[in-house]
Structure 1
Amino acid sequence: MAANDSISNPHSSWRLIPLLQASGQVQMAIDRWLLEQHQAGKQPPVLRFYTWASPTISLGYHQRRWPASWQQLTWEGQAVPLVRRPTGGRAVLHHGDLTYMVVTSGLTGKRQDIYQRICEFLIEGWRSLGIKLHYGAAGRDYIHNPNCFGTATGADLLSAEGYKLIGSAQLQRGKAILQHGSIVLSSHCELFTQVFGQPVPPLLQLPIQPEGDSLIPTVIEALTESACRCFGIEFVTQPLSELEWQQILALPPLPFDAK
C-alpha cells in the first residue's frame, strides 16, 4: 500500500507520546481525552504505546456479561482492577502486554476497511521483526465469549501458526477515530486461568532478542518506523504537559452500566 493511500488526512506530522506506564483508569482517560481533543481540532493525529501499572481487566464499552468473581479478583495480594474501555470488543487481561493507540481522522469506508488501513503499520512492523501476521475470521459469535483473546475477528492479527498476537478495538466519533489494541509479549498462565477459566493460549515464539530483559523497546521502534512509512508522516515526540495531565485526570471513569 502506498503511503498516500493509507491514512488520508491533512496532517504530515503526528504526535508521538513516549511510552507511559499508568493504571488502567488513567490510560483509558488519556485515550478518551486525545480522541476528544483531535475531534475538536486541538490535537494532530497521535500514536502512543503504553503498559499497565498492575494486572488489569479492560471491558469493552458495550460488554454486559462477565463473571461476578471478577469483582473480587486478586493477584499477589493486590486487587485486579476492572476498567471500561471507550471502544468495543470483549474483555482483555492486561498483564505483560504492550498497548498501542492511534487517534486520527479522514478515513472513509466500512469499519473493517478502516481497521485494516490502520493495522497496516502493525503488519509491516512485525514483518520487519520476522513475524508475518494475517487477520482473523471469526463471525458474530465472538460476542458470546467474554475473553477477547478467545476468538479472532477481522480486527485481530494472528501469526501464520494461528497464534493471536494483537487484539484491537475501535471508536468513531464523527470523522475522528480511536483505535487501540493489546500486543501479547508474555503470558501469565495462573492469572489467565483464574480470570477466564481456561488455559492460556500458546505464546508466539518471537525471533527477536530482548533489549535488556524486555522486548518492548525493540517492538516500539519497529512499529514507529513502520507507521512513518505506512502513513506517510513524520513524528514529533511530545510528552503530555502538566496542563494536559490536569484535564485528563479530571475526566470521570466510564461507568460499568454505560449504554
Structure 2
Amino acid sequence: MTELADREWRLIRDGIRDGPTQMALEEVAATTALEDGLRTVRVYSWEPSTLSLGYRQEADSVDWDYCEREGIDVTRRQTGGGGIYHDRHADISYTIVAPADEVPGDLMDCYALFCEPILEGLQRMGVDADFAGSEQPSIHQPSCYLRDINPAHDVVAPAGGDDAGKVSGNAQYRQRDVVIQHGSISYDLEPGHHVGVFDADLEPATFTDRVTSIREQAGIDREEAVETLAEALGEWCDADEGDWDAAELEAAGDLAERKYGADAWIREREVLEASEQ
C-alpha cells in the first residue's frame, strides 16, 4: 500500500466507452482531484477499438482508410509517444489521477510509484513482469509498442529474460497541478490491426517479435485479468468503490465532442470551443 493511501481515493471499474470519452474522463478526473480532493484509479476498455495518437504524432502516419474500413476510431492523447491500437478485447487500460504536490516531482520516481500496482497486478496474474532492464532500439517510431523500449516506463515479460517482450506502455502528463498517468496493457495480441493502422509497410511479425501479452504469459481469461488489475489498483491506495457522477459524465461528454472527438484536435492538435463547432 502506498503512503498516498491516507488520502481520499475512488476505484472506478469503468464500462466500455468510445475513445474521445475515455480521454475526456481523464481531464474530468483531474478537475475532481483538484477541486474536490477525490483522487481516481480506474480500469477501462475501448469500444469501438481505437487508435490513440501521441500528442505530437503526425496525422499522416495513420492509415486513415484502413481505420475507416476496419471500424477503428482515432483520437489523440495528451501524453506523448507513439500511437497505440486499443483493441476492444486485447487491450486493458488504466488511469491514475492525483494532485501533483502529493507525488514525487521527479518524473522517473513518479513512474516508479504509479507503476507499483501495475506490476503487482501482473504478478498476481502469473505474469513475471518488470521494467525493461535495458533500452531496445525503435522499429517504427509512430507506434508506441514498436518505438524504443525505455527502462523508465516500459514493462516487459518475462522479467530479465533475453526474450522479454513489451507487455505494457505507460505515460504521464501534468495538467492544472494534477498528475495523470495512463497505460495500455496487452491482454492478447492483434498484430494485424496494430501494424495496419499505420501508413507503413509493416509485417504483423514485426509486432509479435517485440510484444507479448498476459494471455501468452499466464493464460488467464480477460475478465479475471481486469478484476485482478482493479483489485491491485484499489489496494495500492486503499480506494473506495466509486463511479462518475452525473456532472462528471456531462462534462466529459461536452469535452469529448469539442476536443477529443473533433477532427481539428485529432489531426492538428487544435482545441475548438463549443461556439466554433
TM-score range, shorter chain: 0.7 to 0.9
Question: How much has 1:30 moved relative to structure 2?
Answer: 0.8
Residues 65-76 of structure 1 correspond to what in structure 2 (within 5 A)? 66-67=60-61, 69-74=62-67
Unpaired stretches in structure 1, ≥5 consecutive residues: none
AA aligned to 1:249 is G
Say which of 88, 97, 106 aligns to 1:110: 106
Indicate yes or no: 2:142 matched with 1:138: no
Unpaired stretches in structure 2, ≥5 consecutive residues: 271-277
Q: Corresponding residue for 1:158?
A: 156
Q: Would you say the 8 A contact 1:98–1:185 is kept in 2?
A: yes
Question: How much has 1:82 moved relative to structure 2?
Answer: 1.5
- Structure with the higher helix share, 1 or 2: 2
Question: How much has 1:28 moved relative to structure 2?
Answer: 0.7
SS at match of 2:217: coil
- Map Cα deviations across residues 142-163 of structure 1 (whole Å, 9 max, x no partner): 5970110013222111012411
Q: Would you say the 8 A contact 2:67–2:197 is kept in 1?
A: no
Question: How much has 1:37 moved relative to structure 2?
Answer: 2.5
SS at match of 2:82: coil
Indicate yes or no: 2:205 matched with 1:203: no
- Map Cα deviations across residues 138-187 of structure 1 (whole Å, 9 max, x no partner): 38x75970110013222111012411111111111254110011111122
AA aligned to 1:219 is A
Residues 1-259 of structure 1 correspond to what in structure 2 (within 5 A)? 3=1, 6-8=2-4, 11=7, 13-39=8-34, 41-64=35-58, 66-67=60-61, 69-74=62-67, 77-95=69-87, 96-105=90-99, 106-136=102-132, 137-138=134-135, 145-150=141-146, 151-153=148-150, 154-160=152-158, 161-196=163-198, 197-199=202-204, 200-201=207-208, 202-204=211-213, 205-210=216-221, 215=222, 217-231=223-237, 233=238, 235-251=239-255, 252-254=258-260, 255=265, 256-258=267-269
Question: How much has 1:43 moved relative to structure 2?
Answer: 4.7
Identical aligned residues as a percent: 23
SS at match of 1:123: helix
| CA distance in structure 2 between the partners assigned to 1:111 and 1:244 by the alignment | 28
Residues 129 and 85 of structure 1: CA distance in aligned 2, closer, same or farther (over 3 Å) = same
| CA distance in structure 2 between the partners assigned to 1:45 and 1:142 by the alignment | 35
Task: Normalising by structure 2, report the TM-score.
Answer: 0.78
Q: Would you say the 8 A contact 1:7–1:107 is kept in 2?
A: no
Task: Normalising by structure 1, report the TM-score.
Answer: 0.83
Residues 10 and 142 of structure 1: CA distance in aligned 2, closer, same or farther (over 3 Å) = farther
- Map Cα deviations across residues 108-142 of structure 1 (whole Å, 9 max, x no partner): 23111101110011111111222121213438x75
Question: How much has 1:219 moved relative to structure 2?
Answer: 2.0
Residues 203 and 159 of structure 1: CA distance in aligned 2, closer, same or farther (over 3 Å) = closer
Q: How many residues align?
A: 243
| CA distance in structure 2 between the partners assigned to 1:143 and 1:7 by the alignment | 38
Q: Would you say the 8 A contact 2:41–2:234 is kept in 1?
A: no
